[in-house]
A and B are shown apart, each in its own frame.
Chain A
Amino acid sequence: MVNHIDLSSVLKRSVCALYSNLVTRPTGAAVRNEIELQLGQLGPKALTIIDFSHVGALDFSCADEIVAKLLLSSIANPERQDVYFVFRGMTDSHLDAIETVLERHGLCLVYDRGADGVRLFGDIDPAGREAWEAVFNSGGGAPDEIAAAVGIPCDEASKLLEDLRHRRLLMRTEEGYVAVRPVS
């Protein structure tokens, strides 16, 4: 199931209809709570698009409350092993704040840049990025196929892919792994 969340609408609905900026920690917590409520209604398997397109300013506190804590709670919650996120609509200043909090927590997210493609954003080492891109570009595959594409031993690829899955950047299927990506 694919769910689309317009953060600006969530802000107006959950905090104040007049606000257009995601600032202050209580605001971030209120927005995240609203998102968590929606996630709770979606069931155990879902892909959620988090859309920043209509958000004005985003400060570090809100980025921490919304982006970092949303990812952290999903990773920590065994009932959400198949809940994934794609983020889109961020400006350079949004990315500044988000990058800072992702690095602070050692997190990474899937960033849909529209016509510029999809990439990982945040704390990810080069090997992890290369493995993810191999899965993304190939449309998915088993660990041995990804290992061959990247040029690393199969057990190393398996470990990398499982780590990426744990970080909600890849999905595991019966055939192997597929990249989390926006679905039109």
Chain B
Amino acid sequence: MTTLINVPLTLDDKTFEQVLDQLAPLPADEKIIVDARHTRWASPYGLTALLTLAQSRPDRPGFYPPEAEKTGSYWARTNFYKHAEELYEFHGKAQRSPPHRESDVLLEITPIVQSADVHGVVERIQKKAQEILVGELNLESKATMRFTMALSEACQNIIEHAGCGGWVAVQTYTWQQRLNGRRVVVIAVCDAGVGFRQSLESSPARRLRDRWNDAIALEDAVLNGVSRFPDKGRGQGFAGMRKFVGHWDGKLSVRSGTARIVASVPDWDPDETAREEGLAPFPGAQLQITIPQRVA
């Protein structure tokens, strides 16, 4: 039997939960078709999470691409189809050839498998990041290097901890639902690996506790700098990301297993919650950094 999984009209870190809620009751080996025909917009998190979803299934899922030409064209510009074709069995025609014009895609969806991929990402993004962060988001010039550092650390988590490859994408867009239509830059890093809980459980030095679950594992790693490695120098990446995000009034959210935490909830997102538990299970780790345009 094949189950149709509906992708919402707007796909981002929040609405992706609707996709996972549909998957949760299904057996792991259930054949699925992911139906994005009616989807009109997707954030970098939404697109990388769709790739991760396919990675997490034992059988190659089917995929209906968006019907709207504009949406399909945008997904093509992000390189979504290029990677999705290796993971999904396509049904229907996708917009394949990206039009040549200036794009708000700061970094196309890029696989992260080894350290050289992180170097590639950092080398490629620097010039454009300067233009976007300073020119569009009104951040100070020094934000560019710190943005690069945060991106590098986020990508390295895949290599160091996931146990399999993942994806990164960076995009700017105008956020109509929040921030009164201010511009934002969003980094999404998703993998379908072992996740934070299993990663920390692999540490011989792990303290046994009465309570242990995905949310506690996330808090340990993201908020308290705990790492599976005994080396004292490990576990600094998230501290650096939190510092960068906090300085520029941004948001860092991380989902793993059945939990999601937000490192510090910004004032501009009052509906956000610091910690969610009991979510539909999903392997690996999914991270998002959002930096808003600065206003005087």
Q: Write the residues of chain A forming the contact surface with B, with a CB cutoff of 8 angstroms.
A: 16, 18-21, 23-27, 56-61, 64-65, 68-69, 91-93, 96-97, 100-101, 104-105
A-contacting residues, B122-176, CB 8 Å: 122-123, 126, 142, 145-146, 148-149, 152-153, 156, 159-160
Jot down 22 A-B pairs with beta carbons below 8 A, ordered by A.
A16-B119, A20-B123, A21-B119, A23-B156, A24-B118, A25-B115, A25-B156, A25-B160, A26-B115, A56-B126, A56-B148, A57-B122, A57-B126, A58-B149, A59-B153, A60-B153, A60-B237, A60-B240, A96-B146, A97-B149, A100-B239, A105-B232
User: Which residues of A sit under 8 angstroms from B278, Cβ to Cβ?
Assistant: none
User: Which residues of A sit under 8 angstroms from B264, Cβ to Cβ?
Assistant: none
Question: Chain B: how many interface residues by the 8 Å CB criterion?
Answer: 25
The complex places the Cα of A18 from the Cα of B119 at a distance, in Å, of 10
B233 proximal to A (CB < 8 A): yes
The complex places the Cα of A21 from the Cα of B120 at a distance, in Å, of 10
Q: Write the residues of chain B forming the contact surface with A, with a CB cutoff of 8 angstroms.
A: 115-116, 118-119, 122-123, 126, 142, 145-146, 148-149, 152-153, 156, 159-160, 232-234, 236-237, 239-240, 243
CB-CB under 8 A for A61 and B153, given A91-B145, A105-B232: yes
B122 & A21 in contact (Cβ 8 Å cutoff): yes
A101 & B236 in contact (Cβ 8 Å cutoff): yes
Interface of A is mostly: helix
Interface of B is mostly: helix
Other contacts beyond A57-B126, A100-B240: 5, CB < 8 A: A23-B156, A24-B159, A61-B152, A93-B149, A105-B232
User: Which residues of B sit under 8 angstroms from A27, Cβ to Cβ?
Assistant: 115, 119
User: Which residues of B sit under 8 angstroms from A16, Cβ to Cβ?
Assistant: 116, 119
Across the A-B interface, how many residue pairs have beta carbons closer than 8 Å?
90
Give the Cβ gap from A46 to chain B, nearest Cβ, in Å.
Answer: 24
B145 & A57 in contact (Cβ 8 Å cutoff): yes
The 4 closest A-B pairs by CB, nearest first: A93-B145, A64-B233, A24-B115, A23-B152
Residue among B115, B145, B239 with max Cβ neighbours from chain A (10 Å): B145
Residue among A59, A65, A69, A96 with max Cβ neighbours from chain B (10 Å): A59
The complex places the Cα of A101 from the Cα of B149 at a distance, in Å, of 14
The complex places the Cα of A61 from the Cα of B123 at a distance, in Å, of 17
User: Which residues of B sit under 8 angstroms from A19, Cβ to Cβ?
Assistant: 119, 123
CB-CB under 8 A for A57 and B149, given A68-B233, A105-B233: yes
User: Which residues of A sit under 8 angstroms from B237, Cβ to Cβ?
Assistant: 59-61
Residue of B nearest to A63 (CB): B236
Residue of B nearest to A26 (CB): B115
The complex places the Cα of A101 from the Cα of B240 at a distance, in Å, of 10
Residue of A nearest to B160 (CB): A25
CB-CB under 8 A for A21 and B156, given A26-B115, A60-B240: no
